[in-house]
Amino acid sequence: MTRLGVGICGLGTVGAGTFNLIRTNAAEISRKTGTSVVVAQVGCRRDNPACDLSGVNVTRDIFEVTRNPDVDVIVELIGGTDTALELVKEAIAHGKHVVTANKALIAVHGEEIFRLAGAAGVSVRFEAAIAGGIPIVKSIREGLAANRIEFVAGIINGTSNFILTEMESAGNRSFEQVLQEAQELGYAEADPTFDIEGIDAAHKLTILSSIAFGVPLHFEAMYTEGISNITPADIRYAGELGYRIKHLGITRRREDGIELRVHPTLVAKETLLAQVDGVMNAVLVGSDAAGKTMYYGAGAGAGPTASSVVGDIIDIMRDSSAVANLGFVPEAIQPMPVIGIESVRCCYYLRLRAHDKPGVLARISTILSQHNISIESLIQKDVRQGAAPIVIITDDVTESELDRALAELGSLEEVDDAITRIRVESF
């Protein structure tokens, strides 16, 4: 029986979950690996009452953990990017493998980290950075390694999914009301910007795109749109048309590059993604040989995320040869252009308010037709205070063509307020 020393930096929710999981399942882990896994040191600003730290080497200086000769793997769970990057670089410089749950760190600084790790002959693992306990990185990088990945689409932020689910099930409750509930339940932070505006999902999708297509990390090129403008009316109309609104991260291979986008999306009710509710996550992967496969589970929490962290530690024990971090040998990572959102082609949900005058609907239809946009479905509601809601599902069209049509529609004197658009996807 060999020994592997783990240094945990950060003892918050995930750090405590990782510490306790290693302690609780030590015998099971050793049965699977032939290795005794021990927490050699913990670096944290304060103790966590959920952990029994008696007999454990605890330091308030997280960088001390990187210099400890008894530590073989550094588990970075402090969050943020500045100190975390410094910590990871020092760990690599000392010949330590790294496991992290820090999606922002990998999305923004992954290229530099992987380059340093490759030169040092150590591994950097990050399964826990995406979708909590769902082993999506391993599934794409290993389980689907024989496949050419065509697309990845997922619900990868539980907070946004909870809000949209509750807005639908609770009838006329507004986004602001449900967000407050999510904060009270602990599903949303006091400052929820990263979740509701899609930044958290964009970090995760950046990594998924790289491991799916073997391209550099392109966070800066991501198109990102949040859910704060979704109204109960949009959710109700989408339902009448046979759809549910989900906040999706979508990356797709095309002949001229890759799409990389996070935004609200109408998804047909009968699809698997549409049926993922609450704080749960799900990722759908399309590939040439395996076809469509979907991965579902808890996207956050101490237990699920710790499961992925410890899974990465076990992988390092089983293969200490510094496997290519993104699933492709470094020299095979090939730049591909990221397709601008204006060139993305899909169907669209449009909601506008138009005054009930003769010929208004005909003028709207004519403008769309002049821009080569066909109408697939249409709902026209009763007049309210002189203006009637009109909801349209278009056939597929490029974003730039739709932009031009919406600009012309918006100039009609019969059209009130801004026109709402939500993309529609079929998988």
pLDDT at 253: 96
Residue 383: pLDDT band (50, 70, 90) is low
Distance CA 383, CA 391 (A): 13
- Clarify whether 96 is annotated catalytic: no
pLDDT at 141: 93
Q: Could you list the beta-strand ranges (E) of 166-226.
A: 223-224
Percent of the chain with pLDDT over 90: 85
Instruction: Give 285's contacts (C-beta < 8 A, 6+ positions apart).
Output: 139, 140, 144, 149, 151, 152, 212, 292, 293, 294, 295
- Domains of the chain, first to last: 2-125 (3.40.50.720), 136-298+334-339 (3.30.360.10), 345-425 (3.30.70.260)
Percent of the chain with pLDDT over 70: 97
What's the whole-number average pLDDT of the chain?
93
Residue 327: pLDDT band (50, 70, 90) is confident
pLDDT at 422: 97
Say which residue the tokens 């002949």 belong to.
255
**Catalytic-labelled residue, pool 96, 103, 138, 204:** 204
Contact 144, 285 (CB under 8 A): yes
